Structure 1
Amino acid sequence: MKNVGSSPADATAGWAAAEPAAQQGQAAPNAGDGPTRQLVARMVLEQGPVTAVAVAEHLGISATAVRRHLDALVADGEAWVRESTRRGRRGRGRPAKLFLLTESGRARFGHAYDDLAVSALRFLAEQSGEQAVRSFAKRRMAALVEHHREALAAGETVAERARVLADALTREGYAASTRNVGSGEQLCQHHCPVAHVAADFPQLCEAETEAFAEVLGIHVQRLATIANGDAACTTHVPNVWSEGRVEGRSEADHDAVEQGTAEREPKQQETAPIPHDGGEPV
C-alpha cells in the first residue's frame, strides 16, 4: 500500500486519480461514496485519531464537507469518535472530536487475508498432511455453530432449525436464507467470507456441510458452492429426520423407540433430496 504521508492536497488527489484502486492495494469505494469520501477515509486511516479540521486542512476542502463524510462513515459503522484529551490550560468549548476507522472501515483498503490463509493452509498440509487441514476445517465450523447451538436445538421441525441456522449464518456474514422446495428446505448462502480460500481447500466446504448435518440432526446434501463458481452455496435439507424420524415426533418418542419401550412403528423411508434445478437460489 502506498503511503501518501503528509503530501499536500493536490498530490493526494492526483495520486488517487492516477492509480486504479487495485494498484493502490485497496477495495473500490462503496457505491455512492465518491472519491472524496475515500480520501477522507484514507486520511483517517493514516493520521487517525484525527479531527475533521485537520482532515479538511490536509485535503484542502471545507470542514463542513469533511464532517458530512465523517458522519456518514460513523453511521455506516466504518468510523468511530472519541473526545480528545486536553493538555495544559483548559479552554472554552467542548473537546475536539477525534475520528478513527473501525475494522469495517479498514476493509475499504483491502487485506491480504485470503493469500495469508491459503499460504498457511498449504504449509499445514505440507507439514502435517491433508488430515490436519480437515481437522482445522472441522474445528473452525464447530466454533462457528457452537454460539447458536441452543437456539438450533429449540427448533421442533427441520424447517424451523433450517431457518434458525440461516439466521445464525447471516449474523456470521453469510447472508443466508431458506425456501421450501416440497421435499424439504433449501438453505442458500448468498455470500461466503472464505470463498477464495475454499476454492483451493474444499475441505472448508466439506466441514461446513458436515456441521450443518450435525446441528440439524439430519443428512443434508450440498448442491452448489460459491467457491465452485455458483451464484450461492446451496444445501438441500430434507424434511425427514435422520434414522427414519419424521417431523413432529418428539425427542422422547425417538429415544423410546431406540430403547424398544415404545410401540413399534413402520420405519419411514427417507426421501432422497431433489436434484438442484440449476437455477439461481432465491
Structure 2
Amino acid sequence: MYSSRSSAEPVSAQVDAGRDGDGTTRERVLQLVVEEGPISAAALGRRLDLTAAAVRRHLDAMTEQGIVEIKNVTSRRKGAGRPSRRYVISQEGQQVLGDDYLGLARRALDVLGDAVGDEAPRALAEAYFAGHEDRYRQHLAGIDDLDERAERLAELFSEDGFAGFTRKVGRDNPLLAMQSTQLCQGHCPVREIAEAHPVFCEEETEMISRLLEVDVRRLSTQAAGAHVCTTHVPVGRERLAAEQRARRSASDAPQDPTTRTASAGSRLSGGRKRIVISPRQQERLS
C-alpha cells in the first residue's frame, strides 16, 4: 500500500527551492530510491554514509513534495512484527525526472489510433526503439559474456534517462539454471504513453531480447503500476546450455588413433566383448 502527502506548491518549484547546500545529497538520495526502491532509510544511510536522521530529513521533504511515496512492506519471516517503511519514486516524481511532451504525444497517438487502428502506435514504438537499438548494438559489440552485456545495456539505458541497473538473482544456488540477472529501469521517459499503448513495452522487451541475444521475460513495468521496469535475463540457463553444447562437441570430436586401437583390442571379432577370467575363477568352473 502506498501513501503520500501532497503540497499546494508546485513540485518543480519545490525541487528548485531545495537545491541549496543539501541539493546534491538530496539528488543522491532520490537516485538511489529510483534505482533500488522499495528501500529503507537505514539502507539509504548505509549506501550514502549518512545517518538515518539525515536521510529521513531528505525523505520527509520529498514525501511532502509528492516526489517519493512510502510503501509498507511486511516481512515473510514467521512471527514478523509490524510492516516496515520503504520508499519508492511516485508518479509525480517520475514527471519531475522528465517526461518530454508526453501529454501531447499521447493525445496524438490516441487520435491516430482512432483513425487507423493499432498500426500507428506500433509503428511509432518500432521507430522509437529502432534508434536506441542501433546505438546500443554498437556499444555491445565484442561483449560475449551475458552478464557483462546486461550490465553494459543498463549503463546505456541510464545514459538515455531510463535509470538502468541490474540485480543478480540466485547466484548462491548450486543449480546453474536457477541463476539469473534482472535488468531494471527505475525511470521510464515514455511511461504515460506506454500506459495507454502497451505496445511500447512490448517493443522494448523485444529490443532487449535481440540486443542480449537471448529470450527474456518482462516481470513488471511502470506502465502497469510497478515502481521499476524489470526484465528477467536467464544467465544461468544460457551458461548451462553452452556447457552442454561444449560437452556434445567434445564427444563428437574424432578420437586419438591409439585410443581407438586400444578400445578395439578389448573386443573380439564380431563386436563381442573380451571376458578375462582369473585363475581362481577357472578352478571354480572346472
TM-score by length of 2: 0.49
More helix by share: 2
Considering Cα pairs closer than 8 Å and 6+ residues apart, tell me whether 1 or 2 has the greater RCO. 2
TM-score by length of 1: 0.50
